[in-house]
Amino acid sequence: MLFPFGVRPFPDVCPSVRVSLQALTFRRGQSSDDPAHDTFRHKAFPTVSDISRFRFQCCTAVVCLFLFLFLVVFSFIALAIGKYDYQTLVTDSSLAFQKPNGEYWFGTDNLGRDYWCQVWYATQVSIRLALIVAVGESILGVIIGLIWGYVRELDRFFTELYNLIDNVPYIIYMTLIALVVGQSFTIMAVSMIAIGWLVMARRVRNMVFMFRDREYNLASRCLGTPLWRVLTKNILPYLVSVIILRMALSIPATINLESTLSYLGIGLGIETPSLGLILSKVRGFFLDYPYLLVFPASIVSIISISFYIMGNAFSDAADPRNHV
């Protein structure tokens, strides 16, 4: 395209901005002689393989989401249609280690109790604990991470606090809490949140470092924009993908951790059944009666794999950089 008086378009802007402006004029029907325009045009229009990959990823995530929801809903239905109630189970040694049959759908444990109602009741407890811990860790971690990354004066304090807590093995904290405070659902949830926020806060802090000194944030500070508005409007939208991914991975991690702690005898109390507690009670009979391991382990595996796939898919969908 010819311009009057030999003036080139966009003479006083940086090359990257000029490329964007030239691509915009090309979309309006004008031509562009800048070689970088071809790169911009290639990125603006995804290929068929890109579309197929994202579509497959979204479909897989939706399937995993429905699978998890079905698992949650069925845990309530299973207790309703089961032949035995968990609260009224009685010990009968003559019925011990009955394999799955028409009377005992998941068989019986070493004490002759119905395994079906135990597994599904424990599934409800484990999922409820995981959801509470994931939400609590995310809220606390995001708040501390935003302050940690944006307020320079507090960076040293939070860094030392992170190093102090993170250098001690997690199992030592939980062992001391179980021995000193006690074992219950509330104590376990609060303990996991009090220690688990470190990972979320650290990731949020690193992301805040990347966006804190961008031009639009500097301009906002010069205009007197309040701190909370800069954090929530300018920075937080870029952290949504990180938060979603961490929350999605925190749920199976919490279930696995609770299972491990209960298996070691320092998790939930005996009066609060969970998948880990069930595995702990029958751990000496797995080789002879594998169904005692297969049913609870399968549920833990389904939850872990589902949230891993969902977390990655929803994280990519929520990332603003994937929509430019």
pLDDT-derived band at 270 (thresholds 50, 70, 90) equals confident
Round to whole Å and give the CA distance between 249 and 140. 16
pLDDT-derived band at 224 (thresholds 50, 70, 90) equals confident
Query: Which three-class secondary structure string do you get for the chain?
Result: CCCHHHCCCCCCCCHHHHHHHHHHHHHCCCCCCCCHHHHHHHHHCCCHHHHHHHHHHHHHHHHHHHHHHHHHHHHHHHHHHCCCCHHHCCCCHHHCCCCCCCCCCCCECCCCCEHHHHHHHHHHHHHHHHHHHHHHHHHHHHHHHHHHHHCHHHHHHHHHHHHHHHCCCHHHHHHHHHHHCCCCHHHHHHHHHHHHHHHHHHHHHHHHHHHCCCHHHHHHHHCCCCHHHHHHHHHHHHHHHHHHHHHHHHHHHHHHHHHHHHHHCCCCCCCCCCHHHHHHHCHHHCCCCCHHHHHHHHHHHHHHHHHHHHHHHHHHHHCHHHHC
pLDDT (tens digit per residue) in 5-61 = 444 444 444 444 344 434 434 444 444 444 444 443 444 444 555 545 555 667 888
4 has a pLDDT exceeding 70? no
pLDDT (tens digit per residue) in 284-296 = 888 888 898 899 8
323 has a pLDDT exceeding 70? no
Q: Average per-residue pLDDT in the chain? A: 78
pLDDT (tens digit per residue) in 76-92 = 998 888 888 888 888 88
- Contact between 266 and 178 under an 8 Å Cβ cutoff? The reply is yes
Higher pLDDT among residues 319 and 205, named by residue: 205
Whether the model pTM is above 0.95: no
Round to whole Å and give the CA distance between 140 and 130. 15
pLDDT (tens digit per residue) in 162-214 = 998 888 888 888 889 988 888 888 999 999 999 989 989 999 998 888 888 78
Instruction: Phi first, then psi: give them for residue 108, nearest 5 degrees.
Output: -125, 160
Round to whole Å and give the CA distance between 301 and 264. 19
265 has a pLDDT exceeding 70? yes
313 has a pLDDT exceeding 80? no
**Average pLDDT, integer, range 257-281:** 81
Which of 56-60, 98-102, 302-306 is predicted least confidently? 56-60
Round to whole Å and give the CA distance between 132 and 288. 36
Out of 34-38, 129-133, 236-240, 287-291, give the one with best mean pLDDT.
Answer: 129-133
| Structure confidence at residue 49 (pLDDT) | 59
Round to whole Å and give the CA distance between 193 and 285. 33
| Structure confidence at residue 53 (pLDDT) | 59
